[in-house]
């Protein structure tokens, strides 16, 4: 497996991931409201990928 390096802190990484997830959620909601099938499919795939990443990293929203 390849080795990776990152100069970001844990909190910076979490914020970046959360921001991207918010963008994906917004895009998905917009596609649903506009009833655009191509955008729905594209954004549904992005949503699932982001959700899987968050789950795999065990990143959860604070209650």
pLDDT score, position 1: 63
Residue 35 belongs to some domain of the structure:
yes
Is pLDDT larger for residue 23 or for residue 1? 23
Residue 21 belongs to some domain of the structure:
yes
Q: What is the pLDDT of residues 16-63, one digit of tens each?
A: 998 988 898 888 888 888 877 888 788 888 888 888 988 898 888 777
Domain that holds residue 45: 10-56
pTM of the model: 0.68
* Domain count for the chain: 1
pLDDT score, position 16: 92
Asked if 37 and 18 count as a contact pair (C-beta separation under 8 A), the reply is no
Buried b (16+ CB within 10 A) or exposed e, 25-54: eeebeebeeeeeeeeeeebeebbeebeeeb
């Amino acid at each position: 497996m390849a080795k990776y390096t990152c100069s970001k802190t844990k909190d910076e990484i979490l914020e970046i991931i959360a921001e991207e997830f918010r963008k994906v959620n917004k895009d998905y909601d917009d596609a649903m409201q506009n009833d655009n099938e191509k955008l729905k499919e594209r954004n549904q795939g992005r949503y699932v990928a982001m959700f899987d990443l968050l789950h795999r990293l065990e990143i959860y929203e604070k209650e």
